[in-house]
Chains A and B, each alone.
Chain A
C-alpha cells in the first residue's frame, strides 16, 4: 500500500439514505460497479469527501461481515456533514481508507464476554463490532449492550436494536434516555450511572464510545466496580487530514489517532498526555 493509493480517493455511490434521528442519517455506500469500495475491520475508519466541500474521517458502522455494502452513521454538526445530510440516493462521494487499527476482535476479544457501552452517535463505531460479534457468535461469550441518548428520538439504529439485537439469544440490550419522556417505559438516567447500577461481572471486556465526558465517568464507574483498565477499550476522534500519521494533527503525545488508534485500551491512555 502507498499513500498514492490512499491520499487519492476512490469513488463511491450512496445507494440508500436512512433517517435515524433528527440529526443522524445512515448512508449506504457502494462502489460504482456494486459491492464494497474496500474491506475493513471493525473500528476502522474511512475518509469521506465531497470535492469542494471538504473531507473528514468517519467510522465505518457496518460490519466487515456485510459483504454487500458499507454504512456510515453521520451526525450533522458542521459544513461537510450538513452537505452530506442533503445527499440523495445516487450521489457520488469520494472515499479512501480503511484507516486505523480497529478493535482486536480476532485476538484480545476472542472468547471474551463483551459489554458494549455507547452514548448517542457513539454507537456508530460499536455497531460494527457488535454485528461482527453476532455474525461470529461462536468466538465470543455473552453480549451486553448498554446504549443511551438524550431522548428516544436520538437513539441511533433504533429499529435494528429492537427488531434484531433485542430478539437475539445471548444478547442483553439495556436502553436508557437522559430524561423522562412520554411513550418511553424503559430506563431513564445517564449511561455511566446505568452501567454502575447494572454492575457487570468484572471479568468481562468492555468497549466504550460516546462523548468524552461519558467515557470518563463510565470508566470511573467501571474501576469502582472492580474492572481493570486493561479490560476496557475506547475509540477516539480528533481532527485528521491524511489518515496515515504524516500530516501531524491527530496526535496524542507520540501516538497518532489515525494510525496507532482510533482504538485504545484504557491503560494505554494513562501513558498518554491528557490532550483529547
Chain B
C-alpha cells in the first residue's frame, strides 16, 4: 500500500496528469462534476458528481461514422477513434461496479469497439466513500464501499490518502507516480474502513427484499397492478436514465453538418414516448408501460440475461434527482415482497 499526505495531493494530480489526461470530481455551484485536471483545480469532497462516470466510456453523444453523399453515390468515412490515455480519479464503489455491468453489455459478442477502445485507454482510481448519504443503497447489491474496486483503490483519513493497486494497469499507474508516494503499512487504511462500515450500518435503505425479482416471476411482475400507481406521476422525462450509471440504451441518428452526414449515437431513454415508436405503431403507448420497462429491465430482464446481476448499483442519483421523487427503491419496496 502507498500513501500521500492530503496537503500535498496536488503533487499526485500533477504527476498523474503528466503522462495522461486526468479527470476528477470538481465542485461547481450546481454540484460536483468530473472535470479535466489543470493546475490549481481542486478535488471535490462531494460524495458523487451529478453525472455518473459512465460518460468516460459511453459518452452522451459519440460520432460513429461519416458519409459523403453525392448524387447516387455514398462514401463511408470511418471516424478516428480517441486514443488519449486517461485516468479517472475519485470514482466511488457504485460507479466502479457500473463499469462491470456496462462491460456485460458492450463487451459481449459482438464487441462494441467504441466502448472497448475507451475502456482500454482508461484507468480507474476509486476512493472509499467517507460520508455516505441517505440515498446510498449500494450494499443491497453486494457492493462494499470500503473495497471500492477499480484499477487503484484509495482510502482517505483526516490527513492521508492510501492507495492500493488492484490490477496490472493500476500497478503501472502507481509505479509511474512512485516519486510522490510513500510506502504505507497494508493495514494503514483499516481504521478508515471500520469507520465507514459503522456509518453504512446506519443507512436507512438496507435489506431491500429483492427475492421476488426472478426470471420465473417475470410475467407476474409484468402484470402487477401496482405499475399504474407507481407511474402515475411520472413526467416521462429522462432524468433517472441519464444520471444512472448503468442505463445504456442508445439511439443512432444522422446529422447533416452541411459538409456531409455525421452518424452519431447518443443516450436514449425508455421513458421517452418515441423510444419504441416505429412504422407500424408503438408497443408502449402509455407512461405506465415505459415506466415498467425501465424497472423490469433493471430488476428482471437484465438479471435474466446476466447470471442474476441486477442492473442497479445503488448510487442514489435517481433518488436525489427525480423531479417527482419516484425511484427504484420505491418500486422495489412496492413489488419486492408482495409478489413472491
Interface of A is mostly: loop
Output the least CB separation between A193 and chain B (Å). Answer: 23
A199 at the interface (CB under 8 A from B): no
Q: Given contacts A2-B113, A3-B113, A9-B76, is CB(A253)–CB(B251) below 8 Å? A: no
A65 at the interface (CB under 8 A from B): no
Name A14-58 residues within 8 Å CB distance of B. Answer: 51-56
Output the least CB separation between B235 and chain A (Å). Answer: 20
Q: A6-18: contact bitstring with B at CB < 8 Å (1 yes, 0 no)?
A: 1111110000000
A254 touches B113 (CB 8 A): no
B78 / chain A contacts, CB cutoff of 8 Å = 8
A94 / chain B contacts, CB cutoff of 8 Å = 67, 74, 76
In the assembled complex, the Cα of A166 lies from the Cα of B200 at a distance in Å of 74
Give the total number of A-B pairs whose CB atoms are below 8 A apart.
Answer: 129
In the assembled complex, the Cα of A239 lies from the Cα of B277 at a distance in Å of 6
| Closest residue on chain A to residue B301 by CB atoms | A254
B219 touches A55 (CB 8 A): no
In the assembled complex, the Cα of A129 lies from the Cα of B289 at a distance in Å of 34
A238 / chain B contacts, CB cutoff of 8 Å = 276, 278, 283
A4 / chain B contacts, CB cutoff of 8 Å = 111, 113-114
In the assembled complex, the Cα of A3 lies from the Cα of B105 at a distance in Å of 12
B275 touches A249 (CB 8 A): yes
Name B67-81 residues within 8 Å CB distance of A. Answer: 67, 69, 72-74, 76, 78
In the assembled complex, the Cα of A1 lies from the Cα of B109 at a distance in Å of 8
Of the candidates B73, B110, B284, the one whose C-beta lies within 8 Å of that of A275 is B284
B172 at the interface (CB under 8 A from A): no
Q: Given contacts A4-B113, A94-B74, A254-B218, is CB(A247)–CB(B276) below 8 Å? A: no
A247 touches B111 (CB 8 A): no
A8 / chain B contacts, CB cutoff of 8 Å = 64-65, 76, 78
Of the candidates B74, B256, B280, B297, the one whose C-beta lies within 8 Å of that of A251 is B297
A253 / chain B contacts, CB cutoff of 8 Å = 218, 222, 296, 300-301, 304
Q: Which B residues fall within an 8 A CB radius of A?
A: 64-65, 67, 69, 72-74, 76, 78, 105-106, 109-114, 215, 218-219, 222-223, 248-252, 254, 256, 261, 263, 265, 268, 270, 275-280, 283-284, 289, 293, 296-297, 300-302, 304-305
Known: A51-B67, A251-B301. 20 other contacts (CB 8 A): A1-B109, A2-B111, A3-B111, A4-B111, A7-B114, A11-B74, A11-B76, A51-B254, A52-B261, A56-B279, A91-B72, A92-B74, A94-B67, A94-B76, A238-B276, A246-B105, A248-B250, A253-B222, A271-B219, A275-B222
Q: Closest 9 A-B residue pairs measured CB to CB?
A: A248-B249, A51-B67, A239-B278, A4-B113, A254-B304, A51-B261, A254-B301, A273-B222, A52-B261
Q: Which A residues fall within an 8 A CB radius of B?
A: 1-11, 51-56, 77-78, 81, 88, 90-94, 211, 237-239, 241-242, 244, 246-254, 271, 273, 275-276
